[in-house]
Amino acid sequence: MESLEVSFQLILHSGNARSHAMEAITFAKKRNFTEAHKSLEESGKELTEAHNVQTTLLQAEASGAPPNLSILLVHAQDHLMNSITVKDLAGEMVELYSTIEPLRKEDLNSDGN
């Protein structure tokens, strides 16, 4: 796989992963935890695809054929790192929203008494 193609594949899958992670937060804010978890799962699948692409770079370098290091490839790696961070934080936010939801319901029920 050419360095240019690898770069665009990394950007594609990383961008998709980030979008799914942000979608998970939106679902959690709307208290739709089933969809939030599905979005996190989709984010994880996209990150796996990105990692698979990245592995081709590592294997090429290990076999003595390092990729052409370009600004685009650096940019693609930055996208991947950012997407991993966003997915991790989205997972934490979904967990927080789901933890808070029963407390919110309890508070709403106690206000009615």
Q: Residue 69 has what pLDDT?
A: 84
Q: Output the pTM of the full model.
A: 0.88
Q: Choose among 79, 65, 88: nearest CA to 16.
A: 79
CA distance 26 to 36: 8
Among 37, 51, 75, 79, the one annotated catalytic: 75
Q: How far apart are CA 104 and CA 75, in angstroms?
A: 42
**Is 75 assigned a catalytic role?**
yes
Locate tokens 């208290």: which residue?
A: 31
3-111: CATH class: mainly alpha
What would the two tokens of residue 50 be?
């990105």
* Neighbour tally for 20: CB within 10 Å: 23
Q: Which residues of the chain have pLDDT under 50?
A: none
